[in-house]
Structure 1
């Protein structure tokens, strides 16, 4: 779907509301009160009434749009623009496209959508051959540390730590291009972490995998107990002083980290550490569905109708 196709398919608010109703009914709508399946549509209230317990469910209830007074068409347009390009897109750009005077409501729409993208991806457990490494993303210096001397390295106030996992296996056929990697990549995960303790990293890997992965990491000591603790089937640590040597083994985590940094840096002047996970959610969601192209717009609709955002917000 192109931008022109989008505006043809959703020319007004009524068409978007009809599409939202159809999508929810098609994907198994049930009463949030009693779980009943016999629901009757009330067009004047834009709601369903349960025939068993008489509970009324609004069109947006139980979705990411619940509590918002902005048009459904704005939500659909924001979903489309977030997924129409591989690069990161800012709320400012979406605000201009929507013709909205106020920035804050659009900013919150975008972050809520990023939130549910991450929740959808969290259901998928990585498996098979995997690469794991940590990355350091530039973020704003916290307010309470702006007057402190700037540290360097891992402890810098301007760096936020991220654990990166990627399904990566050697291809059966050699790469067509000379400089292509001989490995193929499946799904990836990027998770913001507060520290590099073994318990923190082990817990994140255990949550994000199916427990049967064969993991390759660098020689960092926090990875040492992965196999021993039963988090992975096997663990191979690459110990090398030369970063290029490690990069050849941990190919896809390094590519993912580099592309995510470049995507964020090209779009935003600076971001706060508290919002970094949301931006990474968007990057991973699009990376994991990179072959869908313009058909990707259908997927966020499922996220939007299935989850309510955990992102704290004001209601507009």
Structure 2
């Protein structure tokens, strides 16, 4: 949705509130007290009342907006800015765009939205063709014994191991050899912090995130050997130049 279209759909606070109520009804409202899903809508209080125990549920209760005093339109604008572009929007920039005086509530709103987006990502599995590899990020530990000698390379106390699984799709329709150097495009991806690169531990993590019988392209590391039973494993080295061009 383009920015102009967004403000046509959600021009003010009331339109955002009505839309949010509609989304909640689609998901269903469950009473926290007795678990019933049958409610009356109390228009004068803008709350649902349980038909069984009379417990009331506010419009924001049980959602990412719970306990927030920010307007619904702020949340809708923030969701649009975060999801409408490939480039990230900082909380500071969202504060500037909205025109809110205080930074802390805007930072909290953006943090909550990104947290639930991460939870949403956990609900789907990767499919089609997957490219799998491990990367290492330098981290700082405040609990590490400084007298302990640092290891180098794999296993270093300064590094966290992250397993990256990315869907690799071939685009024939929009492929232009003059503009694109490869037909492949990255789809969804998952990044998982792992404690060990042992083949037994790595297989457990992959089976939780990737559908069975999926084609997995990886390097020739022995860490991936246990994936051969459940996946179509293709061990090869993907040139760095090809990865950069995507």
TM norm structure 1: 0.65
Contact 1:128 1:212 (C-alpha < 8 Å) held by counterparts? no
Partner of 2:117: 117
Superposed, which structure 2 residues align to 1:161-310 within 5 Å?
Answer: 161-170=161-170, 175-178=175-178, 179-227=180-228, 230=229, 232-238=230-236, 246-247=238-239, 254=243
Superposed, which structure 2 residues align to 1:29-178 within 5 Å?
Answer: 29-137=29-137, 141-143=140-142, 153-154=153-154, 155=156, 157=158, 160-170=160-170, 175-178=175-178
Task: Sort the Cα spacing of 1:196 and 1:67 in 2 relative to 1 into closer, same or farther, 3 A.
Answer: farther
Aligned residues: 243
The structure where helix makes up a greater share of residues is 1
Deviation at 1:208, TM superposition (A): 0.3
Write out per-residue CA displacement over residues 230-273 of structure 1, whole angstroms, 9 at most, x where no aligned residue: 4x3222222xxxxxx5227x96xx45xx98xxxxxxxxxxxxxx
In 2: Cα distance, 1:104 partner to 1:200 partner: 40
Partner of 1:14: 14
Task: Sort the Cα spacing of 1:97 and 1:184 in 2 relative to 1 into closer, same or farther, 3 A.
Answer: closer
Contact 1:198 1:223 (C-alpha < 8 Å) held by counterparts? yes
> 5+ unaligned residues in a row in structure 1: which ranges?
239-244, 260-316
Q: Cα RMSD over matched residues?
A: 3.3
Task: Pick which of 188-197 and 90-99 moved more.
Answer: 188-197
Q: Which of the pair has more CA radius of gyration? A: 2
In 1: Cα distance, 2:238 partner to 2:105 partner: 44
In 2: Cα distance, 1:23 partner to 1:161 partner: 39
The structure where strand makes up a greater share of residues is 2
Secondary structure of the corresponding residue to residue 69 of structure 1: coil
> 5+ unaligned residues in a row in structure 2: which ranges?
none
In 1: Cα distance, 2:197 partner to 2:64 partner: 33
Task: Sort the Cα spacing of 1:54 and 1:185 in 2 relative to 1 into closer, same or farther, 3 A.
Answer: same
In 2: Cα distance, 1:8 partner to 1:119 partner: 30
Deviation at 1:138, TM superposition (A): 5.8
Deviation at 1:52, TM superposition (A): 2.7
Deviation at 1:8, TM superposition (A): 4.6
